[in-house]
Amino acid sequence: MQVIHYPSQAEWAALQQRPAAGEARQVEERVRQIFDDVRQRGDEALRHYAQELDGAALTDLRVTAEEVTAAVAQVPAALQTAIRQAHANLWKFHLTQREEITRVETMPGVTCWRKSVPVQRVGLYIPGGTAPLFSTLLMLGVPARLAGCPEIVLCTPPQKDGSVNPVILFTAQLLGISTIIKAGGAQGVAALAGGTGSVPAVDKIFGPGNRYVTAAKQLAAQRGVAIDLPAGPSEVLVIADKTASPAFVAADLLSQAEHGPDSQVMLLTDSVELLPQVTAEIERQLAQLPRREVAALALGESRAVLLRTPEEMLFFSNQYAPEHLILAVRNAEELAEGVTSAGSVFLGHLTPEAAGDYASGTNHTLPTGGYARNYSGVSLDSFVKKITFQRITAEGLLHVGPVVETMAEAEGLRAHARAVTLRLESLLGDNA
């Protein structure tokens, strides 16, 4: 990690830069080609990319019930138990996000209300390569189920033998998802966006992925299919004071660095003594990681910054707007009151970010790249549309009608005013 001591605020912007994506134009052009190919050749194109990119020779793109049953038997009992507990925790937390319908009488006889209606067809994209993210399937599948989405389509890459990772299939069965497509990468997103013979087109696409998947989701959004949120490489920012454990802090930083070479981790501290202790712990723990080469690449783009006060660290963090924010400080709850931009916040020395990644109950699908300044993470709200309703009685029209007439005339919209005037005249005529 790069270590910076007491930078001036003029230097902060440079320190807050994320790693450059690189070759963005080439990625976008390749994704456009894949979209066009999937639109023209449908399932044939998906089978072609499965062979070319995943090394899998497929006949059927859909996972069968028999494949699911066989896969579930391969998942160790301890892992099944852990996934079921995580599912229960997520369900319990997301259930509280349901909103009751509240009818409001804004004037006598004028009643307005709002109703949550599920998105009818949602597509969940789950990576299945070096780190098959069955945990993300839980994070997306639980709120989709709670929202009542009638159709849920899961796309995930096949393994070389044409199968799908057994843990992903176990999790899908637990969630009651039966439409499972063997399609990864940009081609999977393209299939969800436009549909093919085997893949139903959806209204909204969720899920993480590499830069090709991210570009594919952005292209799908341009073509009229909603997406969950702008998401790129994973990131964490840790604010630590002298009470923090160097081993805990190092482990938290490495837990994000191992996601991928373009992940970024950031440490802010006001303790001169803590900095060398954390960097030494990082070196020690890094050597023990199976994905140490990946984590080492990410650390090369990461920074440890020494600042003067907790307030200064919080100001820096709010500007950076991290996906994950860990407050490894004595007064975590108090400091957390000042957080204005973060995807998810983890308070105190015993709250690792990894808990939120898997099983505490909050959602781990979060905005990255500074988008936490203006986006929320995935929640039940992501899977519903909020539709407003209103009903006006005769009494209500007598109250609100003149207000509408006056405002419409002031804007020069005579037809708007007439739509009210005709009704008022009808009511007054009936009462004459």
pLDDT, tens digit, 9 for 90 and up, residues 4-48: 999 999 999 999 998 876 677 899 999 999 999 999 999 999 999
Q: Which residue in the list 67, 258, 281, 323 is annotated as catalytic?
A: 323
Which helix (H) or strand (E) covers residue 134, if one does?
helix 134-147
Model confidence pTM above 0.75: yes
For residue 194, give Cα distances in angstroms to 38, 178, 183, 187, 211. Answer: 8, 20, 14, 11, 20
Per-residue pLDDT, averaged over 320-327, amounts to 98
How many Å apart are CA 406 and CA 391, to the nearest integer?
21
Per-residue pLDDT, averaged over 392-402, amounts to 97
The answer to whether residues 403 and 425 touch, using CB atoms and an 8 Å cutoff, is no
The answer to whether residues 288 and 331 touch, using CB atoms and an 8 Å cutoff, is no
Per-residue pLDDT, averaged over 246-265, amounts to 94
Q: How many CB atoms lie within 10 A of CB 242?
A: 12
CATH of domain 24-69+119-228: 3.40.50.1980
How many Å apart are CA 432 and CA 428, to the nearest integer?
6
Known binding residues for substrate: 234, 256, 259, 324, 357, 411, 416
Known binding residues for Zn(2+): 256, 259, 357, 416
Residue 220's DSSP bridge partners are none
- Give the phi and the psi of residue 155 in degrees, each rounded to 5: -115, 130
Residue of 347, 353, 301, 313 whose CA lies nearest to 327? 347
* Domain locations in the chain as residue ranges: 24-69+119-228, 232-376, 393-431
Known catalytic residue: 324?
yes
Known catalytic residue: 349?
no
Known binding residues for NAD(+): 125, 187, 210
Calculated CA dihedral for residues 62, 68, 70, 75, nearest 10 degrees: 130
pLDDT in tens, 140-187: 999 999 999 999 999 999 999 999 999 999 999 999 999 999 999 999
Q: Which residue in the list 301, 324, 353, 364 is annotated as catalytic?
A: 324
CATH of domain 232-376: 3.40.50.1980
Residue of 116, 125, 91 whose CA lies nearest to 382? 116
How many Å apart are CA 424 and CA 393, to the nearest integer?
11
The answer to whether residues 121 and 151 touch, using CB atoms and an 8 Å cutoff, is yes
How many Å apart are CA 378 and CA 336, to the nearest integer?
21
Amino acid identity of residue 355, one-letter, is A
Confidence band for 431, pLDDT divided at 50, 70 and 90: low
pLDDT in tens, 80-122: 999 999 999 999 999 999 999 999 999 999 999 999 999 999 9
